[in-house]
Amino acid sequence: MPLSKPTPRTQRYNRKVECNGYLRDDGLWDIEACMKDVRSLSFPCLDKDGEMKAGETFHEFWVRLTIDKDFLIHDIEVSVDCSPAELCAGVVPAFQALKGLKITRGFKRELKNRIMGVTGCTHLYELIWYMGGVAFQTLSEVRHKQTEEEKSQPNPLINACYGMSSDREVVKRNWPEHYTGTK
C-alpha cells in the first residue's frame, strides 16, 4: 500500500541505492551496490571550485562484496567515483579490513569497529550494512537447501524482526519445533 498523499513540497535531495546479487561461475557470490546522491540546490564544498552545482551528483560510491554460501567475505572492491572532497577516495584501501568477516549477527557492530571514524566512511558503512540484507535475499535459494543437522538448528531469522517472531504464524507453519506461541 503506498503512502498517503503528501502535503505540497519541493524536493531538495535524492539518494538512489541499487543493489544486485549474482552467482558467479566459480560458486562464489557477488553482491554489488551503488549509492548516488544529488541535491536540488547548489551548496559550498571542499573541492569542485568551492561549489557543487544543483542537480550534480555529489556522491557516487560502488561496492562489490564477494562471499561464499556461509556469508564469509572473500573479497571487497570499493570505488569512490564522486565526492565533494576528492581526498575521500583515499579511504578505499581501508575496506580491505572486511575480508574474512562473516555477514551474520553482529555484522553491523563489526563493520562499525572496522570502517568507521577517521579511517572509514559513513556513507560506505551504511551501504555495506545494507548489502548484508541483500546477501541474505540473494542466497535464499542456498539457505533453503539445508542438511538435516542444519535444519535442527533454529533459523537465524527467527526473532530477528516482527514478522519472524517465534510466536507468529510464519514460524509455526515453517519451523513448528521453534514456535513459542499458543498451540
Instruction: Give mean pLDDT, residues 92-121.
Output: 93
Which pTM was predicted? 0.82
pLDDT at position 1 is 78
Instruction: Give mean pLDDT, residues 84-92.
Output: 89
pLDDT at position 162 is 87
Band (pLDDT 50/70/90 cuts) for residue 170 is confident
Band (pLDDT 50/70/90 cuts) for residue 176 is confident
Nearby residues of 90 by Cβ (< 8 Å), 6 or more positions away: none
Nearby residues of 22 by Cβ (< 8 Å), 6 or more positions away: 29, 30, 31, 32, 138
H/E element, 82: strand 73-82
Instruction: Give mean pLDDT, residues 105-114.
Output: 92
